[in-house]
A and B are shown apart, each in its own frame.
Chain A
Amino acid sequence: DAGVTQSPTHLIKTRGQQVTLRCSPISGHKSVSWYQQVLGQGPQFIFQYYEKEERGRGNFPDRFSARQFPNYSSELNVNALLLGDSALYLCASSWTGGSNYGYTFGSGTRLTVV
């Protein structure tokens, strides 16, 4: 079975540009969460979606947005990129929205803003 897949794996953007990151959850998983991991730090929660509805939002500016599609895949959009947005963006999926059983993470998208 395929795990959580994220695309692209790496990308480089210029300050002020916009970027879209994509995530496909494990088959049957209905919840997708996004995390930002800055080098040397633990991941920080950005968004959670369950059954196509936003269930939670972390302390990130409105430049960050996301959505979940009917097939449960998800996109994370970041507008007006700043140098500080350079990070590894991780997607995690779980069967339910309120999971006490752990999430399965993808390998991430490495975003570099220059």
Chain B
Amino acid sequence: GDSVTQMEGPVTLSEEAFLTINCTYTATGYPSLFWYVQYPGEGLQLLLKATKADDKGSNKGFEATYRKETTSFHLEKGSVQVSDSAVYFCALTTGANSKLTFGKGITLSVRP
């Protein structure tokens, strides 16, 4: 079945540091890939998405590239802010079965 593996956390960074959060996946067919963010006490917000190989999703300074050859969708940001502190989830869906399959999530804390 489909699965998403995220790097173990939590991650603590200083403000303006570079961020990479790793995500790899296993899926039948050609999945669409997503990053969702969850701020404390809130639901999930779509951060970015990519629907086919080599697509780059971007939003709010975050980027992720759909790498079919390595089945990866790593999230990056060049300079994190305190306001980026949240839980980040990598997820996928395939067209035939459109449920979202999530990774376990990783908590990011950014220190001033």
Within 8 A of A (CB), among B24-73: 32, 34, 36, 42-46, 49, 51
Q: Mark A34-57, 1 if CB is under 8 A from B, else 0.
A: 010000111111001000000110
Shortest C-beta distance, A43 to chain B (Å), equals 5
Q: For chains A and B in complex, what number of residue pairs have CB atoms within 8 angstroms?
A: 63
Q: Given A42-B89, A106-B43, verify A55-B98 contact (CB < 8 Å).
A: yes
**B42 CB contact (under 8 Å) in A45, A48, A101, A107:** A107
Shortest C-beta distance, B101 to chain A (Å), equals 7
B residues touching A (Cβ–Cβ < 8 Å)? 4, 32, 34, 36, 42-46, 49, 51, 89, 91, 93, 95-105
Other A-B pairs beyond A97-B98, A105-B43, 7, CB < 8 Å? A43-B89, A56-B99, A90-B43, A100-B93, A100-B95, A102-B49, A105-B44
